[in-house]
Amino acid sequence: MVQIDNIEVDVSETCNLRCLHCTHSAPYFTTADNYELREFEIDISILAEKVHFGVIRLIGGEPLLNKDLGKYVDFIRKTQVADKIAIFTNGLLLHKTPLTVFNHIDHLRVSLYPLDPVKTALIKRSVTDIRKQFPALSVVVNPINFFSTFNLVIENADRELVKKIHDKCYYRKDGLNLYNGKIYKCFAARKKFTFLKNTTSAVTGDFQPLERSEADVLPLEPFLTEEEIRNFLADNKPLEACKWCLGTNGGRKVPHSQIGKWPVDHATLADLDFEAGEKYMSNLLLSWNLDKMHLIEDDEWYKPEHVHSYFDHFGVQPF
C-alpha cells in the first residue's frame, strides 16, 4: 500500500466568484467541466486498493456548488481511502449546505475574500453556527486581501530558471490533484491549458505537451501497480506546466479583485479576531498539511534563497 500525505479533488471546476489571478483559473471553466460523481467513485475505488491518503481535500472552483458533495464525502468514508476529509470553500454557500456534510468531515477551511459587508457578515454567521454545532470540526478562516500573479502567458524558454521555479514551489511536494481518471502532479498541470486558451492567442490547438505529459500525469486504470505510483511520485523533474508558471514564489502581489460586476470592500476583513488565531500571509501561504497547521514561512524547507535570475527575468521583487 502506497502512503501519500494528501491529495486534492476539484469536485467543482466552476465558482460563484470570479477572482482575478485565481490559481485554479475558475473563471474560465463551465459547469460541463465538473468531476462527475460516478467517475469519482470509479477512481477512488481503484486508488483504495493501492493507496492510502492522510487527507483528501475537496476543493474547486467552489466545492459547495456541487449538490452531490455529501455523496463524495460518504464514498470516501465508505472506501476508507483516507484518514481525514477537508473542504476548502469561499463560504458563500455555507448557510445552504446540508449539515450532514459537516458532520462527516474533519476540516473546514474558509477563504474569506473582501466582498461587500452583507455577504461577509453572512459568511461569519454561518461559520459561527457551524462551530457551535460541530465543536470537534476544525474550522479555519483565512482573510485574503492579496493574490500573487501565478500564470505566465509566454512560455519560459529558460530551462534552468524553470527548474529553479519548480524546486522552490510548495506544490512540488504537496500539489497532487485527482480528476477524471488521472492523478496530476500539480493542479497547474491540468488547468494551465484552460487558462491560456481563454487569456492569450499564444496557444493554439489542443496543446498536447501540457495535457499529455507523462511527467505531469498518471492515468488510472485497473492494472495500475503500486510501483508505477511510487515511480510517478519519485520523479522530481519540472513539469511541462512549469514552463508556464511562477509557482508559489509567485510574481507581484496585487490587491484581490473580482472580474466583472462583483463589488470588493477590503474594509470587511478588518476583524482579525475572526481568523481563529492564525496569522495570515498575504498570499495564503499556509501549509496544506492540515495536521501540522504551521506557516510555510516557519518551514526551513520553504525559505527561499532568493534566486536573482528569477526576479530579474520576471521583474518582480523578492519577498
Q: Hey, where are the domains in the chain? A: 2-314
Query: How would residue 279 be classed by pLDDT, with cut points 50, 70 and 90?
Result: very low
Res 203 pLDDT > 70: no
Nearest of 142, 148, 187 to residue 9 by alpha carbon: 187
Query: How would residue 178 be classed by pLDDT, with cut points 50, 70 and 90?
Result: very high
Predicted local confidence at residue 41, as pLDDT: 97
Helix (H) or strand (E) holding 256: none
Predicted local confidence at residue 230, as pLDDT: 94
Instruction: Provide mean pLDDT across the span 262-287.
Output: 45
Per-residue CA distances from 262 to 59, 95, 145, 274 (Å) = 22, 20, 15, 23
Q: How far apart, in whole angstroms, are the C-alpha atoms of residue 11 and residue 13? A: 7
Mean pLDDT taken over the chain: 78
Predicted confidence (pLDDT) per residue in 96-127, tens digit: 999 999 999 999 988 888 888 888 889 988 98
Res 73 pLDDT > 70: yes
Query: How would residue 34 be classed by pLDDT, with cut points 50, 70 and 90?
Result: confident
Distance of CA 60 to the CA centre of its chain: 7
- Of residues 196 and 225, more confidently modeled: 225
Nearest of 103, 96, 7, 117 to residue 59 by alpha carbon: 7
CA angle 13, 128, 67 (to 5 degrees): 30
CB 171 within 8 A of CB 6: no
Least confident interval from 45-59, 133-147, 259-273: 259-273
Query: How would residue 275 be classed by pLDDT, with cut points 50, 70 and 90?
Result: very low
Residue 308, phi then psi, degrees to nearest 5: -60, -35
- Of residues 191 and 272, more confidently modeled: 191
CB atoms inside a 10 Å sphere around CB 268: 20
**Secondary structure of residue 20 in the 3-state scheme:** coil
Q: What percent of the chain has pLDDT over 70?
A: 75
* Overall pTM > 0.85: no
